Structure 1
Amino acid sequence: MNHPQLTHNFLMHDVTATVKVNKLVAYKTYLMSLDVAKGFSDAKPGQFVMLRVGDSTDPLLRRPFSIAGIDEDGSLLVLYRVVGKGTALMSQWKPGTSTGVLGPLGRGFDLASKQELSIMVAGGIGIAPLLFLSHQLKSSKTILLMGAGKREELIPVEGLAKTGLEIAIATEDGSRGHRGLVTELLDKALNDVEVGQTMVYACGPEAMLSKVSSMCSGKGVRCQVSVETAMACGVGACQGCAVRSKKKQPAYYHVCKDGPVFDAEEIVWDIP
């Protein structure tokens, strides 16, 4: 049953969804398509959902996942990597499996500003919200910088990202593309940009986001980051997913409620 509630000026739904597709697409990484009936067609890039991963008390809490896209038929796309018991259970789901979905939740990317160049920086599974974002960017040129530990961890973007993107890849072991970190690709890309006509969008590990934020700040380039963190409720009730704010008030933001997308200049990064 659908129970819509108004939050962040959009409708949040608690629905029972049915798995349509759940396939392995990279190392320990799955793409899932969920039939959510109605209610998610107005989801924004950067928003997320909370999935119920079991019928028992173990695991008890729902798990947060970025929305990787909305198919033409309204199906919800979720990209996830197996990292624990909850995602291991999800990897065993077959077409027809039912699960609870709460969402769309949180604050997505701000698409109000117009720029000539958009640079998306993805670290590992952080590519998920950027796939969705790629379809709504209106820039003259869009670059996707993808980073992973090794080539087996790279997520194929064909059919998921908008066509026509300029794509560059970095792997830490050098097995594909540039040998090193994805931030090294960004450093090169930022050397030849028109500052006032460029926006960087990033999602990935905190260390990567901290580095991206610092690089963009140093160049005077605007940057939005989608923060990855553990969440218990997804709606700000438990106060668990806090990140430090540069403002005196509030001293902390809650990622699920105030984010997960922030202007990079709003966040105090605990990793240098």
Structure 2
Amino acid sequence: MSAEGTTLPKFVEEAAITAHERLIAGVYRMTLTSPAVAAHALPGQFVDVSVPHGTSILRRPLGIAEVSRTEGWIRLIYRTVGRGTQALAAARPGAYVSVLGPLGRGFHTDLGHPLLVGGGMGLTPLLFFAAESARTASVLMGGRTKEELFWERIYAPYVRGLFMTTDDGSHGVKGFVTTVLPDLLAGGDYDGVAVCGPPAMMRRVAAIAASHGVSCEVSLERHMACGLGACLSCAVDTKHGRRKVCKDGPVFPAGEVYDDAS
């Protein structure tokens, strides 16, 4: 299932915070009651969340990490990077925020054995992909240190295979995800790669996937103001002209945005 080529419903919901916890310093996991968004969200999509207490008039775009369609909740994992997300991190269970979504176009998920490749907070939308994959997906995750791979325990129930790298060698293979990716693609039965993380990492992953003849999709990050394609603040150059990351993406075929991934 994918968001590609469809007209998708969007909702504005007053969502109660039912759980909010710190995972590591500066990184939080928030669970919100948002039944309409949960019912329609697809892996790779995001929501725009209001900032509590009038800290900012602009909503914050946050990737959807998990959903429960039956229980009507969505889960967001985010890093505090400014006043808006710091104010969000201070919100307690029982408070309400306004949620707009689901927004954007997501990943193609109709794959037999996808390889999800992520670094840092780029692992948030890939978690939703893994959770929807019925344990057909494998994940390759990278971080600077073992602490940054707290994702391991979160992904473990959802994936078929789990591979890790750290810059300092404190967990998994020492190096980057691109250190082990060629061997994984050469020795595995992967029929697609989905990647989200730092721009340089995504470009390199896309090029490696192309060299192995494996299709690749990338989830781009840009500063967004409206999240609906009206303000043009997130426009990006592609082979098909200027596209809006919030509306035409955030997921794009790698070959559409990188010359060396065709």
| TM-score, reference length from structure 2 | 0.90
* Alignment correspondent of 1:85: 83
1:100-143 Cα offsets, whole Å, 9 max, x none, are 1100000011124x33x31110111111111111132368x532
**1:65 maps to 2:62:** yes
Matches within 5 A, 1:232-251: 232-247=225-240, 251=241
Could you tell me whether the CA contact under 8 Å between 2:43 and 2:107 is conserved in 1? yes
Is 1:121 matched up with 2:112? no
Name the counterpart of 1:98. Answer: 96
Distance 1:41 1:67 in 2: 13
The residue aligned with 1:171 is: 166
The answer as to whether partners of 1:8 and 1:106 remain within 8 angstroms in 2 is no
Q: Secondary structure at the match of 1:11?
A: coil
The CA deviation at 1:235 is 0.6
Alignment of 1:28 with 2:18, yes or no, is no
Gaps of 5+ in 2: none
> Which residues of 2 match residues 188-199 of structure 1 at below 5 A?
188-194=183-189, 198-199=191-192
**Structure-2 residue corresponding to 1:3:** none
Q: Spell out structure 1 runs of 4+ moving beyond 6 A.
A: none
Separation in 2 of the partners of 1:245 and 1:150? 34
- SS state at 2:52 partner: coil
Aligned to 1:4: none
Counterpart CA distance in 1 for 2:40 and 2:154 is: 21
Partner residue, 2:147? 152
Distance 1:37 1:218 in 2: 42
2:227 corresponds to 1:231 = no
| Alignment match, 1:75 | 73
2:19–2:32 Cα contact (<8 Å) kept: yes
Measure, in 2, the Cα distance between the counterparts of 1:93 and 1:239: 30
CA distance in 1, matches of 2:18, 2:155: 16
Is the Cα contact below 8 Å between 1:134 and 1:162 reproduced in 2?
no
Aligned-residue offset at 1:220: 1.5
**Higher alpha-carbon deviation: 122-131 or 34-43:** 34-43
Letter in 2 for 1:59: S
- Cα distance in 1 for partners of 2:167, 2:98 equals 37
Q: Cα offset for 1:30?
A: 0.8
Q: For residues 44 and 57 of structure 2, what CA distance do their matches in structure 1 show?
A: 25
- Is contact 1:210-1:269 (8 Å) kept? no
8 A contact 1:27–1:153 mirrored in 2: no
> Contact 2:133–2:158 (CA<8 Å) still a contact in 1?
no
Shift of 1:25: 1.3
Pair 1:257 & 2:247 matched: yes
| Identity between Structure 1 and Structure 2 (%) | 37
Q: Give the superposition deviation at 1:157.
A: 4.4
Write the letter of the residue equivalent to 1:210.
R
Distance, in Å, in 2 between the alignment partners of 1:175 and 1:157 is 14
Stretch deviating more after TM superposition (16-25 or 37-46): 37-46
Q: Whole-Å Cα distance in 1 between the matches of residues 15 and 104 of structure 2? A: 20
Query: Could you say which structure has the higher helix fraction?
Result: 2
Distance 1:90 1:22 in 2: 10
State the Cα distance separating 1:164 from its structure 2 match: 4.5
The verdict on how the C-alpha distance between 1:128 and 1:161 changes in structure 2, with shifts beyond 3 A counting, is: farther
User: Quick one: distance in 2 between partners of 1:192 and 1:219?
Assistant: 11
- How many angstroms apart in 2 are the aligned matches of 1:132 and 1:162? 12
TM-fit CA distance, 1:27? 3.2
Match of 2:44 in 1: 46
